[in-house]
Each structure stands twice: as structure tokens, then as C-alpha cells.
Amino acid sequence: MLRQCLRWIRAQIVKKAEHFLLRVLSTGPVPQHVAFVMDGNRRYARRNQQAIVQGHTDGFAALRKLLETCLRLHIRCVSVYAFAIDNFKRSPEEVEHLMNLAHEKLLEMAQHGQILEEYGVRLNVLGKTALLPDYVQESIREAESLTRKNNKAILNICMPYASQDEITTAVQSAVRKSLESDSEDCELTEDDISAQLMTTLAGSPPLEILVRTSGVKRLSDYLLWQCSENTQIHFCNKYWPEFGLFDFIPILLDYQRKIWRQRLS
């Protein structure tokens, strides 16, 4: 009984500390678009002697918690790399579990998602969705439809996604649009291609911070075009299911320091 009481007291102290930190951070400049490469679910599961599927389930729980943190900070857009096109090469059992998890959680977030409703979040699934099983495509359509009228914030779930595929599709769309315009000037610009990117079409602002967990220092074909000279890229050693507010704070403070320096220069 005493241990339970002490755990409850500790949880309340941590919760109050988190609320205080979020209030302090939100008084400074806040990025409008943050992206995460949610890496390390499988290694997290192996280290904890769990099934791989449990690592992915814990990874979704981490996403839900961090999304709420971002929304409370008034970060307008959050993009997450949930499933790469290359991930279809994994074992059939793991792919099947990931598809079932996506189906279940998409509907759960849209139908019973207090977070999405409370913060007015529109959910978008970006990627080559035609590669997904029919039942997952149906859950995507339902989730996007249920949140379509939300206009305060955006959650982009990228699956199955590859940046090279997105850029190729954007160039093809820009070429078609140019040909359909009957304009004598058929020269494509960066703006023409940017306007056709999945993130742009979903209403996302420019990407300001990209975070990859698990200690791996590469982008793995994620939002390559969107990573401009102003995008801050951070690599964190924590596995994704372990990543939380106290790992995110140093990243936000670094962003705020750089913004303040720019404004004062």
C-alpha cells in the first residue's frame, strides 16, 4: 500500500513538472512542423526480451504521448515515419502485425481519439497507400474523413512512404500541370515541385525540426526535399518507445536559442 502511495505521489510530481516545463517552453518560439523517424521498436523489444510486435505496440503508445506534448506546445504539424515502402521486405508475420496495428489504431484515433478532437487535429496518411491491404486503405479513408473538418493542427502518418517516390510523383504531377496549362513557358521551378509534394498538398508548413531516434545517423529516404537549409536535424540515442518529453526538451531549447540569435542579429 505504501509503495502504491509513493508511486502515485511520484507520478503526480512528474506530471506537474511536465505541465510547468510545457508552459515555460510555449512562451518562447515554437516550431510549426516537427517530424520524427520512429526508429528502434524492434531493438527495444529484443533488449527487453519481448516479441517484436510488442515493440511496435509500445512505439504507438510513445507516439500518442509525444503527439499530445507537441499539441500542447502549439506545434501545428507533426509528421511521423510509420512504415517505409522497403519495410514490405520484412517477415510476413511482422508486416501483417504492422498492418493490423495500423488498421486498429487509425480507427481508434479517429473514432475515439480525444486528442485529435480536443486539439482539432486533421489526420493525413501520406505515401503509396495503394500498396496497403484493402482493409487498411478503408480504415485510412474513414480516419481521414472523420477528421477532415479539423483545422487547428495536422498529423501526417507516412506509410508506406519513400522520399524518392514522393519527389518522383511530385515532378510527374508538376509536368502534367505545366502541360495542361498551355503556357509557352514550360520550365519547372523548385516551387512547382514543392507545390506537388504530399506534405504540401496536406497543408503542412515548412519542416523546421527532424528527429531520428535509436542512434542511427541517417535519414533513410524520409522528407529529403523538405529538409531545407533551415531544418534542424537531431539524432537521439533513445529507442523510439523510450523517447519522451525530457528527450524532446533539449531539442526544443536548441531550436529556441537559434531563433533568438537570428532575431537579435
Catalytic residues: 39, 87
**Which uninterrupted H or E stretch holds 110?**
helix 92-111
Number of H helices, E strands in the chain: 10, 6
The answer to whether the beta carbons of residues 147 and 121 sit under 8 Å apart is yes
| Distance between CA atoms of residues 172 and 64, nearest Å | 35
Is residue 136 within 8 A of residue 102, CB to CB? The reply is: yes
User: From its phi and psi, is residue 199 left (phi > 0), alpha (psi between -120 and 50) or beta?
Assistant: alpha
Rounded CA separation 125/106 (Å): 10
Q: Which of 126, 123, 114 is nearest to 154 (CA)?
A: 123
Cα R_g (the chain), whole angstroms = 20
256 contacts: CB under 8 Å, gap ≥ 6 = 25, 28, 29
